[in-house]
Amino acid sequence: MDKPPLDPMEQRKRIITSRNRVLALVLFGLVALFFAISIAKMS
């Protein structure tokens, strides 16, 4: 419980990293959805 508070740059880096992960997941989900729709329309 006695962890020292992170300096602002470290905190900002962590926020950006987590945001990038979320964006990558959303993008991957959209690509997968588009791929699934394309296959469904072909058959």
Tens of pLDDT along the chain (43 residues) come to 556 666 889 999 999 999 999 999 999 999 999 999 999 999 7
In angstroms, the CA 38 to CA 8 distance is 45
- The predicted pLDDT at position 33 comes to 97
- The predicted pLDDT at position 26 comes to 98
Amino acid at 10: E
**Model pTM?**
0.66
